[in-house]
Amino acid sequence: MKIIKLIKDIIAPKKCYSCHEEWHFLCLGCFRMQHNFNPMCYICKGPSENFWLHGWCTWDVFYDKVIILTHYSNEVIQKLIKDAKFYHKKDIFEDFARYLTKVFIKNETYANKDDYIILSVPMFFTRKLKRGYNQSDILSGYISDKLKIDYEKKLLKRVKNTRQQSKLSKKVRHFNLEKAFKINKKYVDKLDNIKVILVDDVISTGTTIDVISKLLKENGVKEVIWLVIASD
C-alpha cells in the first residue's frame, strides 16, 4: 500500500487547496492560518479547558467533551470536506487526521492507550452503497493508525435509514434518530468502563452525537469524547 501511495503521489501529487504547494491537500502553513477552535464547552460555547463540557451544561447530554479542529464556515475547509466526502478524494482525510491527532494529544492526556477505543459514526448500508464509502470510517482508520488506539469498526451499527439531519428542524432531529443505532452484541464487553473516541467530519446541532453517546453510556462506557474536523 505504501508503494502504491508513493507512486500515486509522484504521478499526481497532492496540492494544497490554499497555496497550491505540493504534497498536502492542506499544508501546515495554511492550516496554521485558519481560524481554528480554541478549547470551549460545546453546549454553551464558553471557554473550557481541554474542550470539557461545563458541569452545569451536562444535565441533559451524554457526551463529555467535543474536540473540534476548525470552522466549517471557512471556504477552504468546506471545499476540502465536500471533496473528500462526496467526490472520492478520500486522501484528504489523511491530512485532517494528522491535525486532529495533534489537537487530541494536546487536549487529552492518554497515558494508557488501552483505556480507549475509537468508533466511527455508522452509515446505513444503502447510503454507503450509493456513496461508495463512509467518511467517518475512513477518518477513524487514519486516526487509529496515528494514535495507535484500536478502532472497533463493527461495534456500532446503524439499523435505521433516517432522513438527512441537516434538512430537519431541531425539534424533529431526535425523533428521526430514535432507535437508529445499535451495539453489536459480540463487542459489547469491550465497552465496560472504557473511554470512547468517536470520530466524524462535521458536527452541527449535536443531536446525532447525543443519541449515540446515550447508547454508549447505557452500555457501560465511562467517557465519550467526540473528535471532529469542523463545526459552525
pLDDT in tens, 156-176: 999 887 756 555 555 565 555
Mean pLDDT check: name the lowest of 48-52, 61-65, 161-165, 203-207: 161-165
Pinpoint the residues of the chain covered by CATH 3.40.50.2020: 37-231
CB contact set of 57 (below 8 Å; sequence gap of 6+): 41, 43, 44
Confidence of residue 10 (pLDDT cuts 50, 70, 90): low
Query: Between the CA of residue 218 and those of 63, 156, 183, 188, 193, what are the distances in Å?
Result: 12, 13, 10, 11, 11
The predicted model scores a pTM of: 0.90
Q: What is the CATH number of domain 37-231?
A: 3.40.50.2020
pLDDT at 55: 94
Mean pLDDT value across residues 46-69: 95
Phi/psi for 58 (5° steps) reads: -100, 10
Mean pLDDT value across residues 134-144: 97
The letter for the amino acid at 28 is L
Q: What is the pLDDT of the chain when averaged over all its residues?
A: 89
What is the rounded CA–CA span in Å between residue 65 and residue 78? 23
pLDDT digits (tens, 9 = 90+) for 12-22: 679 999 999 98
